[in-house]
Amino acid sequence: DAGVIQSPRHEVTEMGQEVTLRCKPISGHNSLFWYRQTMMRGLELLIYFNNNVPIDDSGMPEDRFSAKMPNASFSTLKIQPSEPRDSAVYFCASSLSTGVVYNEQFFGPGTRLTVL
């Protein structure tokens, strides 16, 4: 298996621009997670999906952030408009949930976002 795939790996944009991050989870996994990591705040869960349905988006910092999962093999995280404080590494992870237990998560390589 190719693992979790994220694109782009690096993104440099100017303040005010729209940014779209993409993720392809591991085939067969039914849960998908979006994280943001910074030195100051560590690894923060933004939103997660179970069977393509958003379960908890309480970590999404504000309305500028939105996420979709139109099918089991694709998800996007969009920031519009972007701000310099959005600069971070964004990780996508997937796992196989069984009943009430979420199993280990497998992380993609991350997208390093820089907003100038």
Partner 1 sequence: QKEVEQNSGPLSVPEGAIASLNCTYSDRVSQSFFWYRQYSGKSPELIMSIYSNGDKEDGRFTAQLNKASQYVSLLIRDSQPSDSATYLCAVNSYTSGTYKYIFGTGTRLKVLA
User: Which residue from 60, 86, 108, 113 is in contact with partner 1, where contact means CB under 8 A?
Assistant: 108
Asked whether 53 and 68 are in contact (CB, 8 A), the reply is no
Interacting residue with partner 1 among 75, 82, 94, 105 (CB under 8 A): 105
* Cα(97)–Cα(32) distance, integer angstroms: 10
SS3 78: strand
The reply on whether position 53 binds partner 1 by CB under 8 A is no
Q: Could you tell me which residues are beta bridge partners of residue 68?
A: 76
Which of 28, 42, 53, 71 binds partner 1 (CB under 8 A)? It is 42
- The number of angstroms, rounded, from the C-alpha of 28 to the middle of its chain's C-alpha atoms is 18
Residue 72, sorted as left (phi over 0), alpha (psi -120 to 50) or beta, turns out to be: alpha
Q: Does 12 bind partner 1 (CB under 8 A)?
A: no
Contacting partner 1 (CB under 8 A), which of 12, 15, 43, 116? 43
Residue 14 makes contact with partner 1 by CB under 8 A: no
For partner 1, the binding residues (CB under 8 A) are 33, 35, 42-43, 45, 48, 50, 55-56, 91, 97, 100-110
